[in-house]
Structure 1
């Protein structure tokens, strides 16, 4: 039986919520949770595999088994002190309205039938369907069933995501001169100045200008010089700041966001190779998001040949760096040797899970397609001496159940803000070509 407190709600969970966060059942405070039996059927299809989504399905099954134990489950079980109860609801008949609206007997419609049945069975309590599927939420609302997105790990301050480099016009020329002569000045020298850790600025005075960055440990503003990394030269202020962070051993976690062509992955890879002596291995990875619902099994060839098309953008960035040098040069040969000896390794992200990464420079591309839990899983792999760089475009999300506020990259930027070992640069200006920049802005 569900608890009878009038104020508490009843939440009906969709499968995609569990695949997004296997701990979701503990995030609803003292409200009750109904798990449609259809969800268990769908989870069973996801249990096998090496992707992070398969891990979520397996972990939730284990969590549910720990809650239930050897008891009969049809009466529901408590989720703990201060929490509600969870129960599995078996299939329910479609109402006349459901039959008239949806002729197909598919999992989504069975979940709707259970949500509809629950709302009518407990009319004095609020029943809410929780789903990451926008279309299912629209279907529910059209039937008079309240539906919401899973909001526990969504970004609370959207301004953090598209924040650009702050420019100070009419800045004190004396402080700019001090940056050039002494390299820094105290935060207290600027009135009403409350910067975040590792925040970057452009100071423009009447006679000069400077790029600068705030160091929260010393509470001082330091000048940022324009430096190249393994043949790659920064073309604008954002790229200059990015390379400065990437080359700083004190900054262990970096987020580089921005549209296609802004140089995120290229800068990260160039900085990694430039510092190859400081790290035992350079790893580049990206999540595999298949197109048109066709997974790797549809592609011809062995495992390596199936994966290569998804990893090609990373190989392309590596080729750009290599071609800045003569094929006979030491720099070119170094990259060849690192790849051959697997000191520079390009791999799917799923192959990283479970490993402990010590003294590695780890670049995760297309991180906007990861869930918050996946981001956390990856970062917790970091061992001593490891630096992690997440790159991605928050406007180009390929997962059907993630958006700008709920994806893992945005979640990390929001939660890690103002930490001494974290830095976030949002690159705005495209540098790939004028054509690419025009297409990114207009199409």
Structure 2
């Protein structure tokens, strides 16, 4: 039962109660609350025990958290408060099955559900530490709403979230009344020194549309080289850019100095198609082309529960990638030699299309690596993928931050938004946001009106 009349050492400190969704999002979450204390209901450990087996990222997060708690507690009992990493950090403990004296979430919302037991754990702490603010932290919106209905403070886990996604870096700036002489020089030479040219947003690589009356030139500013280069609108692998943003994307994808690229845009803007066409255009420069996408699990089950072999399990999830590859192949319908070459690339696995979990653990050396639907990744997953890059590897993330299929991610907390915000000033990185849908007028109608 909850104890009354406890002594409170520091009334300004808070107690944050974390649920399972937070741990599966970031296994190091307990170390991100500064001087405040962190508590984990025993039910969270029970749920993590079910998640610890498997090759999915959430399985990795569960295992990492369990090891972290084991290392933190050492010989101490975790039912008591245990000091976290540093003296300036707060303390940690596991809350056992105590029942709150005043408000019982299970009596109100129903018995037997883990979420309601987690609510009771937080309510128990609120009664025990009456002079401290107890806050439930969860990625589950419904659980947060239930907590607030019980007069319990609740909030989302903010670490890694983008504060204003509407102002997320787009990668391109339009400059009017730009000196005509510079526009003419870029058009003539295609490549000029830019150290003394007045440009906004010069902290990283960036695309510009330079205008002066009727004169227009599209350029890429390379931060490391301090140069401006003209952006070509030529076709690659018979795929021609249909707007300036697509041309910018191709420029970044073909630039050997850019090792990390992200392309963000609505469905039908050509993200995956451009990335795949660029990879095929440079197929001789790389040992292999990997194209992958995260598989959003159904009902907390891995794809292993589906019938059939690995290919039959994953083909439905990989279908959009195969569709793009088929579209490129159709551009060479009269060229038997090239269509046979594309088939050979697939047969010999020069082009490898597989779910992200199947590629995990490989060393990515001299690989052109495309990660589609990257908005369904967590920030930690994005970091893990990039950290596996070996020499001469290029990594491309594509996705739509407003079309997320993972329950506990949103436009502010997904890995693609996190990458765009945090990598935008790095000299190895380039980003472009595609605005215009090019799939069909009918598809554009859906995006614009429905």
TM-score under structure 1 length normalisation: 0.95
Whether contact under 8 Å (2:289, 2:367) holds in the other structure is yes
- Partner residue in 1 for 2:370: 363
C-alpha offsets along residues 112-149 of structure 1, whole Å, 9 cap, x if unaligned?
A: 11111111111111111110111111111111111111
Q: Report the CA distance shift for 1:248/1:92 in structure 2 as closer, same or farther (over 3 A).
A: same
- Partner residue in 1 for 2:231: 224
Do residues 75 (structure 1) and 89 (structure 2) align? no
Do residues 15 (structure 1) and 20 (structure 2) align? yes
Q: Report the CA distance shift for 1:373/1:158 in structure 2 as closer, same or farther (over 3 A).
A: same
The DSSP-based 3-state class of the residue aligned with 1:93 is coil
1:202-221 mapped onto 2 (5 Å cutoff)? 202-221=209-228
1:91-240 mapped onto 2 (5 Å cutoff)? 91-93=97-99, 95-96=102-103, 98-161=105-168, 163=170, 165-187=172-194, 190-191=197-198, 193-240=200-247
Output the CA distance in 2 between the equivalents of 1:2 and 1:322: 72
Q: Report the CA distance shift for 1:3/1:64 in structure 2 as closer, same or farther (over 3 A).
A: farther
Whether contact under 8 Å (1:216, 1:420) holds in the other structure is yes
C-alpha offsets along residues 262-296 of structure 1, whole Å, 9 cap, x if unaligned?
A: 00010000000110110000000110014576753
Displacement of 1:240:
0.3
Do residues 86 (structure 1) and 54 (structure 2) align? no
Displacement of 1:2:
10
The DSSP-based 3-state class of the residue aligned with 1:17 is helix
Displacement of 1:185:
4.7
- Partner residue in 1 for 2:267: 260
Displacement of 1:159:
4.6
Stretches of structure 2 that go unaligned for 5 or more consecutive residues are: 1-5
The DSSP-based 3-state class of the residue aligned with 1:34 is strand
Output the CA distance in 2 between the equivalents of 1:293 and 1:354: 22
- Partner residue in 2 for 1:53: 58
Output the CA distance in 2 between the equivalents of 1:221 and 1:158: 28
Do residues 28 (structure 1) and 42 (structure 2) align? no
Output the CA distance in 2 between the equivalents of 1:192 and 1:388: 28
Do residues 296 (structure 1) and 303 (structure 2) align? yes
The DSSP-based 3-state class of the residue aligned with 2:354 is strand
Displacement of 1:301:
2.1
Q: Report the CA distance shift for 1:43/1:97 in structure 2 as closer, same or farther (over 3 A).
A: closer
Stretches of structure 1 that go unaligned for 5 or more consecutive residues are: none
Q: Report the CA distance shift for 1:174/1:207 in structure 2 as closer, same or farther (over 3 A).
A: farther
Whether contact under 8 Å (1:2, 1:85) holds in the other structure is no
Aligned length: 443
C-alpha offsets along residues 329-352 of structure 1, whole Å, 9 cap, x if unaligned?
A: 332222111111111100000112
TM-score under structure 2 length normalisation: 0.94
Do residues 352 (structure 1) and 320 (structure 2) align? no
- Partner residue in 1 for 2:68: 63
Which segment is superposed worse, 272-281 or 88-97?
88-97
Whether contact under 8 Å (2:19, 2:137) holds in the other structure is yes
**2:49 is matched with which residue: 44, 48, 54?**
44
Whether contact under 8 Å (1:168, 1:204) holds in the other structure is yes
The DSSP-based 3-state class of the residue aligned with 2:136 is strand
1:273-312 mapped onto 2 (5 Å cutoff)? 273-290=280-297, 296-297=303-304, 299-312=306-319
Which segment is superposed worse, 174-183 or 33-42?
174-183
Whether contact under 8 Å (1:76, 1:87) holds in the other structure is yes
Whether contact under 8 Å (1:286, 1:367) holds in the other structure is yes
Do residues 404 (structure 1) and 411 (structure 2) align? yes
Report the aligned-residue RMSD: 2.0
- Partner residue in 2 for 1:251: 258
Whether contact under 8 Å (1:3, 1:84) holds in the other structure is no
